[in-house]
Amino acid sequence: MLSAILSMLGLGMVSSILLGVASRVFYVYEDPRIAEVESLTAGANCGGCGYAGCSAAAAAVVAGEAPPSVCIVGGPESAAAIAAVMGMDPGTAEPRVSENECTGGKRAANKYDYMGVPTCNAVAAMYGGRRQCPTGCLGYGDCIKVCMFGAIEMGKDGYPVVNQDKCVGCGACEAICPKNIIRVKTMSERLFEFNSIDGAHAPCTQTCPAQINIPKYINQIKNGDYEGAVNTIRERNPLLLACGRVCPHPCEDKCRRGVVDEAVSINQLKRFVADYEMNSGRRLPIPCAPSTGKRVAVIGGGPAGLSCAYFLRRVGHDVTIFDDNPELGGMIRYGIPEYRLPKKVLKWETDGILNMGIAHKPNMRLGRDFDLGSLVAAGYDAIFLGIGAWKDYALNIEGNDLDGVYTGISFLTRFAAWQQGVSNDPVPVGRKCVVIGGGNTAIDCVRTLVRLGAEEVSIVYRRTRNEMPANKVEIDAAEEEGVNLKYLFSPNRIIGDDNGRVVGLEVQEMELGEPDESGRRRPVPKEGAVQIMETDMVVLAIGQGPDVSFKEAEKGKRGGELAITKRETIDQVDPRTLQTNIPYVFTAGDAATGASLVVEAIGGGRRAARSIDLYLSGKPVTPPVNDLFKTHIPGSIFESVEGVTKKKRIEMPELDVATRIKSFDEVDQVISEDDAKKEADRCLFCCTTCYNRDDACKI
């Protein structure tokens, strides 16, 4: 008995002495802060941070390998508390939020009847799911089961809906989803996401150069969530008031409803919510990521520059806009006439963008007041060139230097500057005016001249109405306002009197021949059919390109190396990244593409902002993966659409012709709330392959 007690005591003594010695010998200093930090994490051991449990995350924070915001469950409070322990700045992490991108659920047709295990992962193993749609939500809610925070619920339409307030961004739902539909992203990641060839995008969203999620905001309008709709548009387009008025809406051309009856009036709905925000008298807050400390100079305050500055600011960079003009807006302020886009409205919009904390330096011209080298010297990390297309193409005909001959852009800008009180140099208006050209600039010129009191205003265009590049609604409006449109006439020479004043225009009648390389039929002169038009003012509006004269001043300096194309646009290494041959210089808008749409410039501005953000964070500037660039997803443009009852689109309210030609008041009016809801109801809420049929719920 004694020996038993003694030996057990001995064994115990030996073990404890051994352990005691070991704890001395093998002592590892552990930072007491690790335990402190660990107590401040959520303690859920969820693994959402990427470390094996909260203690590993805490050790990583103390070792300086993880930011104080490592605990995504703990959120900002935890980050602040940990930062206090570590004596650090809470850092620049943005909250990550989950989002289900599919709004479909039950509406796509079934490929087969499925009776198996009710989980997404099981059904996805059989030919990618039972629905016809390859990209859509499978609707068995694996994400709902895996969410530890109860943040995902099954919506009434059969697809999971994320409660953004409860979501902590742990990423469990993204990991389990077999279809890559439910995604956890930061705001910056969302802002710089581009349409992808394998994505779930409606035909309108695919067509929109700014890639606005159109069905999403129309659905928000339908549900009366106008502020949500504004925010949805602002994720892609900061100039919704301007675009809602002047955009020629290429999206509506590809609207699937247009195959059945008439396209949804997408742009009027955009204008409705944009005006709703402005008229509510309250600016919706635009969230910005924490500052990164990087500085970007944006040259040009037009749509491209504003868009680029806006997106860069939202992801946390410091932006300064340099602009040649006293006010922001560029071509949409000085080129687009007041009756299409009131400048009060534009001012409200650009003020909102400046309010985000963007600096504006007016009356600064590249090549005159500063150059690229001076910007680099001033500490800017990247430069965006959005200088637009402000130079009129010259028409080399006899008499183009006569008194009374103007070019399109210079006429419009000179008039706009006078009208806005910037200059006191009015444009003398003729009695009988002729505008040469068929683009939007030409139409803007004639409609302005009508309002300025010209007795007779004509357009001379060498092809027919079908080939005219101007928007159809604009041509219609010009016609209603009494403009005389002379198709199939080409100017030969401008006739002047002895004093060098314009008195007439000799025009040659044309007919259409074989198609040229642009696909339009080439006009050829008709033998002997020459007319003389009596006129005292000729405006040449045959197109415009970027003014790259700043290169002259930059000869031998940094800017002198900038590559320019034959068309005098700024050359890019890749049109998908918009980086120029100087790595820290990026471009977009008319300066990069030649004269194009406002919405194209806005989309380009966002694309360039993405590249600049990549450049500033030291990553390679590569195009987005699977980028859907100026094309459509194969099979997503339908020839016919079934199961839809015909219903006309609502009419655009506008000022009657007699009133509007006497003033520069805005012609197009905003639709009423009732009409907006009715129109939103016409949307089929399409995705790549599915759409809401009238009997959608029966499927």
Partner 1 sequence: MEYILLAISCILINNILLAQFLGNCPFLGTSKKMETAVGMAMAVIFVLVLAGVFTWCVDTYLLKRFDLEFLRTLSFILVIASLVQFVEMFLKKSIPALYSGLGIFLPLITTNCAVMGACLINIKEEYDFMHTLVASFSYAAGFGLALILFAGIRERINLGRVPKPLADTSIGLVTAGMIALSFFAFKGMV
Q: Answer yes or no whether residue 12 interacts with partner 1 by CB under 8 A.
A: yes
Quote the CA–CA distance of 236 and 310 in Å, as a whole number: 10
Residue number with CB closer to partner 1 (22 or 530): 22
How many helices and strands (H and E) does the chain possess? 27, 19
User: What is the distance of C-alpha 507 from the center of its chain?
Assistant: 42
Residue number with CB closer to partner 1 (14 or 377): 14
Type of residue found at 601: A
In whole angstroms, the minimum distance from the beta carbon of 148 to partner 1 comes to 15
Complex with partner 1: residue 121 or 492, whichever CB lies closer = 121
- φ/ψ (deg, to 5) at 289: -70, 160
Neighbouring residues of 691: CB distance < 8 A, sequence distance ≥ 6: 107, 256, 641, 684, 685
Closer residue to partner 1 in complex, CB, 12/50: 12
Contact 384, 587 (CB under 8 A): yes
When the beta carbons of 140 and 370 are compared against partner 1, the nearer one is 140
- Please identify, using beta-carbon distances, which residue of 18 and 377 lies nearer to partner 1: 18
- State in angstroms the smallest separation of the CB of 113 from partner 1: 16
Q: Is 4 in the site for partner 1 (CB under 8 A)?
A: yes
Q: Point out which residues pair with 460 in neighbouring strands.
A: 436, 486
Taking CB under 8 A as the rule, does residue 13 contact partner 1? no
**Residue 146 near partner 1 by CB under 8 A:** no
- Min dist. Cβ of residue 178 to partner 1 (A): 11
Nearest to 459 by CA among 410, 398, 448, 342: 448
The residue among 15 and 659 lying less far from partner 1, judged by its C-beta, is 15
Token look-up 């068995």 returns 140
Query: Can residue 32 be called a binding residue for partner 1 (CB under 8 A)?
Result: no
Buried b or exposed e, range 214-238, using 16+ CB within 10 angstroms:
bbbbbbbbbeeebebbbbbbbbbbb
Q: Does 52 bind partner 1 (CB under 8 A)?
A: yes
Applying CB under 8 A, the span of 11-19, 151-159, 222-230, 344-352 interacting with partner 1 comes to 11-19
Q: What are phi and psi of 31, to 5 degrees?
A: -60, 125
Binding mask 595-634 for partner 1 (x = CB under 8 A): ----------------------------------------
Query: In the block, which residue shows the tokens 């980028």?
Result: 627
Asked if residue 22 binds partner 1 (CB under 8 A), the reply is: yes
The token duo for 406 is: 């103007």
Between 52 and 529, CB nearer to partner 1:
52
Which of the stretches 7-15, 195-203, 290-298, 670-678 binds partner 1 when contact is defined by CB under 8 A? 7-15
Query: If you search the block for the tokens 């469990």, which residue do you land on?
Result: 172
Q: Which is nearer to partner 1, 19 or 529 (CB)?
A: 19
Q: How many residues bind partner 1 (CB under 8 A)?
A: 24
Distances 441 to 436, 448, 475 between C-alpha atoms, Å: 10, 10, 11
Q: Is the Cβ of residue 11 or residue 524 nearer to partner 1 in the bound state?
A: 11
| Cα gap 687→682, rounded to integer Å | 15
53 binds partner 1 (CB under 8 A): yes
d(CA 297, CA 376): 9
As measured in angstroms, the least distance from the Cβ of 145 to partner 1 is 11
SS (H, E, C) 478-535: HHHCCCEEEECEEEEEEEECCCCEEEEEEEEEEEEEEECCCCCEEEEEEEEEEEEEEC
- List % helix, strand, coil for the chain (3-state, nearest 5): 35, 15, 50
Q: Mapped to the 3 state alphabet, what secondary structure does 255-285 carry?
A: CCHHHHCCCCCHHHHHHHHHHHHHHHCCCCC
Pick the closer one to partner 1 by CB: 19 or 377. Answer: 19
**Interacting stretch for partner 1, rule CB under 8 A, among 16-24, 96-104, 615-623, 643-651?**
16-24
Q: Is residue 126 at the binding interface for partner 1, with CB under 8 A as the rule?
A: no
Query: Does residue 377 interact with partner 1 by CB under 8 A?
Result: no
User: Which residue among 44, 80, 93, 122 contacts partner 1 (CB under 8 A)?
Assistant: 122
**Of 4-12, 183-191, 473-481, 600-608: span binding partner 1 (CB under 8 A):** 4-12
Task: Classify residue 112 by its DSSP letter.
Answer: S
Half-sphere exposure of 531 (CA within 13 A, CB side): 11
Is residue 128 within the footprint of partner 1 (CB under 8 A)?
no
Min dist. Cβ of residue 179 to partner 1 (A): 16
Q: How far is the CB of 35 from partner 1 (least distance, A)?
A: 15
Footprint of partner 1 on 306-345 (CB under 8 A): none
Is 1 or 658 the residue whose CB approaches partner 1 more closely? Answer: 1
Determine which residue in the list 18, 35, 394, 530 makes contact with partner 1, applying CB under 8 A: 18
The residue (of 121 and 374) whose beta carbon lies closer to partner 1 is: 121
Binding to partner 1, residues 62-121 (CB under 8 A): 116-119, 121
Whole-angstrom distance, CA of residue 312 vs CA of residue 4:
78
Q: Select the span of 20-28, 171-179, 285-293, 561-569 touching partner 1 (CB under 8 A).
A: 20-28
In angstroms, the first-to-last Cα distance of the chain is: 83
Whole-angstrom Cα distance, residue 582 to residue 402?
Answer: 42
The answer to whether 289 and 316 are in contact (CB under 8 A) is yes
In the complex with partner 1, the residue whose CB is nearer, 9 or 524, is 9
| Residue 51 beta carbon to partner 1: minimum distance, rounded to whole angstroms | 11
Q: To the nearest whole angstrom, how small is the minimum distance from the Cβ of residue 167 to partner 1?
A: 24
Binding site for partner 1 (CB under 8 A): 3-4, 7-8, 11-12, 15-16, 18-19, 22-23, 25-28, 52-53, 116-119, 121-122
